[in-house]
Amino acid sequence: MSQAVAARPMRDLVTWPQEGYTRVPLQVFADHEIYSWEQDLIFRGPTWSFLGLEVEIPEPGDYITTFIGDSPIIVVRTADGGINALVNRCVHKGSIICYEPKGSRKRAHNFVCPYHNWIYDFEGGLKTIAFEKGIQDKGGMPEDFDKSKHRLIRLRVDTIRGLIFGTFPEATPPLRDYLGPVMVEHIERTLHGKPKILGRYSQFMHNNWKLYVENSRDNYHPSLLHAFFSTFKLNRLSAEGGTRQDDRNWHHITFTKRYTDAGDQAYDSGMIRAMKTNYGLKDPSLIDQWMEYPDQITNSIQSIFPGFVLQQILNSIGTRQIITRGTDKCELVWTLIGFEDDTEEQTYVRVKQSNLVGPAGLVSMEDGAIGNFVQQGIKGDLDNVAVIEMGGRGVGGMPTRATETSVRGFWKLYRELMGV
Amino acid sequence: MNAKTPAGPATDVPVAVRDAIARLMTEYANAIDNDELERWPHFFTEQCLYQILPRPDYRQGRPIGIWFCDNRDMLEDRVSSIREVNVYEPHVYRHVISPAEITGMNNGAWTAQTSYIVVRTMHDGAMQVFSAGRYVDEIEVDGAIARFRKRIVVPDSPRFDTLVVIPL
């Protein structure tokens, strides 16, 4: 149950600077032992991780495979319509049991390890061992082998608006308590219908997973690193925006209201067409949108500790799931969604705006490279620290985007969980 | 937009059409690989579709990939963005493409599919197979000039390393 078996205690590995969460020791982005502890204390610790969308497993027996940190996970729809999550590791030799991204076991209602055909039910119980009694009374498992003592690790599962989350410990607070009311309300607001998957791809990044998490919470960088909006005069500097957090500062929302300076006429429910004459683009219809949300928020990025992001960029709605791939690599899985009751025109707008996001996204592609720039930069100076003081030295929501308050919020919970 | 490719090669394609299509394929790849991106939009008709739609989504008929331009102005905006805006480490592509399999005619355009491999070379010399897959095309041929009315790039992998700033 541990990846940190060979690691020294965390307190021997890092001493956090006395300045607290305004400083981050750079070694946490490069150290293998710290990485092992993160698997145990964060990903298998008292946190909820995103596993997928309910719509991916509509029927009993439907399953998907995914990861929490490094741990392979099976998520399956049970006979009674519930959802179970199991560690995808056979108790015999440790092989993964399900090796496809998705599938269905609707007839058999079990999982069969491909190596020696050990068979498990959807609760993780070991039901059958091939040749358990041997062949012609020779071989087989010992008489006293107790199958009930060997089972797949089962996670707790909860859902919110079609998103599936899982956690390892019994002690993790319930999902809604873990998220807090501000985060719950925003998830329920963003996912206002029955989701429909429009596309899925991933971005492989050459940086530690935490550098991407920081990036997703850093609302200081977008207008500086992602120059697309400003170069083509697409952003209005007077647009209202800010940062929200739950009351423990674990999670984060940054939001913008693009049309706050445009008067009330922009807020009707129809399409808002970008005028060609006002922009540097030959085809500004790229940023045509409809006002999808009554709160008039046109951009929001919600980052849930440790590695989940829910995005609304104009009408581009999607989830991003961070999968750890070693100290200096991670993978970001993007799922772009619409809703069942979207009109054809609305789907078209979402498809067109897909140009803004993902590894080729006009306002997001740089995020795939910038973490690697940091990873390259810190190599010779792992005894040094990052400085995180934009917007002050505290945590908490702020009526501005010129702040790193939510990056500090991340490190606050990180330190609590890691005990440093 | 995700119509399945008609199966089987067309046998009665005029030589002049084959030549025009072969030339288009070669010039397209060379323009990108030789950093003449400004030529790229002109390989398309004014009303066109250029999309990068990974194989699993293409197979399932999902509409969203990583790149979607449905007119030439959008292609030109991409080029401006690559040149003036986006931040990335300098790198180049090298396309290797198969001969095109011309599969038939659809609404005045030739349909074709072509395999490709793109090797990406970074400024420090690091090289990798960046993408492999196929082009699913609709090509309008007017005399010696062929242009894409539709080019769907279908990479075999839905995973992209770091970023995709230059078109495939």
Question: Which positions in chain B touch A370 (Cβ < 8 Å)?
Answer: 87
Question: Which positions in chain A touch B154 (Cβ < 8 Å)?
Answer: none
Rounded-to-integer distance, Cα B86 and Cα B107, Å: 37
Contact A356, A362 (CB under 8 A): yes
Q: How far is CA B89 from the centre of its chain?
A: 22
The one-letter amino acid at A65: T
Q: Are strands A154-160 and A289-290 parallel, antiparallel or unpaired?
A: unpaired
**Predicted confidence band of residue A333 (pLDDT cuts 50, 70, 90):** very high
Q: Which of B54, B73, B165 sits opposite A283 (nearest CB)?
A: B73
Alpha-helical (H) ranges within A296-398 are: 344-353, 367-378
**Chain B 93-122, CB below 8 Å of chain A: which residues?**
none
CA distances from A65 to A216, A274, B48 (A): 25, 41, 37
The two tokens of residue A99 are 């090796």
Distance from CA of A303 to the nearest CA of B (A): 21
Kindly report, residue by residue over A159-209, the tens digit of the pLDDT. 999 999 999 999 999 999 999 999 999 999 999 999 999 999 999 999 999
pLDDT at A231: 74
| End-to-end alpha carbon distance in chain B | 19
Q: Which of B74, B88, B159 sits opposite A202 (nearest CB)?
A: B159
Q: What average pLDDT is seen over chain A?
A: 93
A vs B: CB pairs below 8 A: 114
Contact A324, A66 (CB under 8 A): no
pLDDT at A276: 65
**Looking at the predicted structure, is the pLDDT value of residue B62 above 90?**
yes
B151: phi then psi, degrees, rounded to nearest 5 = -135, 105
- The answer to whether the Cβ–Cβ distance between A359 and B66 falls below 8 Å is yes
Q: Are strands B145-155 and B44-52 parallel, antiparallel or unpaired?
A: parallel
- High-pLDDT (> 90) share of chain B, %: 92
Domains of chain B: 15-88+99-113+134-155 (3.10.450.50)
Closest chain B CA to residue A348: B63
pLDDT at A2: 87
**Predicted confidence band of residue B160 (pLDDT cuts 50, 70, 90):** very high
User: Is the pTM for the entire model greater than 0.80?
Assistant: yes
Report ipTM (2 d.p.): 0.94
The one-letter amino acid at A149: K
Strands (E), B12-55: 44-52
Give SS3 for A411: helix
Rounded-to-integer distance, Cα A240 and Cα A261, Å: 8
- Furthest-apart CA atoms within chain A: distance in Å: 85
Interface mutation vs chain A, best among B42, B62, B64, B76, most A CBs within 10 Å: B64
Kindly report, residue by residue over B98-154, the tens digit of the pLDDT. 999 999 999 999 999 999 999 999 999 999 999 999 999 999 999 999 999 999 999
Contact A240, A297 (CB under 8 A): no
Residue of A101, A105, A98, A47 lying closest to A78 (CA atoms): A105
Contact of B165 with chain A, judged by CB distance below 8 Å, is answered with: yes
Distance from CA of B37 to the nearest CA of A (A): 16
Rounded-to-integer distance, Cα A331 and Cα B4, Å: 30
Rounded-to-integer distance, Cα A55 and Cα B32, Å: 39
Q: What is the arithmetic mean of pLDDT over A69-79?
A: 98
